[in-house]
């Protein structure tokens, strides 16, 4: 009886901290491809695009703003995504640091642009033209 109680308490502790067993989050989703992003600011919206290449949990690719494009780097762990896109214009640039979650053909979360504040974002996988 005492052994069962101890097992249940340990299991509950691990479950509450999110570290039960490896693989609990499931397989890493395949997010390779082109995604359309809508950034929602306090006053207005912007439309950006990412073209993601995926090697396991590592992400790379191209980040496209409305007028410029630059590199993309990041990681994916389970359904959690974290990536940065960089856009440069002449002697200045801005980094877009995205964090969020993946659910099927959509993603959402927050984006931090340093001195340019933060925003929320949603993304949808672009459908392939046949």
The model's pLDDT over 26-62, given as tens digits with 9 standing for 90+, comes to 688 999 999 999 999 999 999 999 999 999 999 999 9
Degrees to nearest 5, angle at CA 110 with 48 and 108: 70
Position of tokens 């640091």?
97
Give me the residue spans of the domains in the chain: 26-125
* Nearest CA among 66, 67, 83 for reference residue 32: 83
Pick the CATH number of 26-125 from 3.40.50.150, 3.40.50.410, 2.40.128.120, 3.30.70.260: 2.40.128.120
Residue range 85-103: average pLDDT? Answer: 93
How many residues comprise the chain?
130
């Amino acid at each position: 009886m005492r052994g069962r109680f101890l097992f249940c308490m340990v299991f509950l502790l691990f479950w509450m901290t999110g570290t039960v067993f490896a693989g609990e989050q499931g397989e890493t989703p395949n997010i390779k491809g082109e995604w359309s992003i809508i950034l929602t600011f306090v006053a207005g919206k912007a439309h950006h695009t990412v073209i993601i290449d995926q090697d396991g949990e590592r992400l790379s690719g191209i980040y496209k703003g409305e007028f410029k494009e630059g590199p993309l780097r990041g990681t994916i762990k389970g359904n959690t995504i974290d990536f940065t896109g960089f856009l440069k214009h002449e002697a200045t640039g801005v980094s877009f640091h995205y964090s969020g979650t993946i659910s099927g053909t959509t993603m959402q979360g927050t984006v931090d642009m340093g001195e340019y504040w933060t925003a929320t974002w949603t993304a949808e996988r672009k459908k392939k033209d046949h």
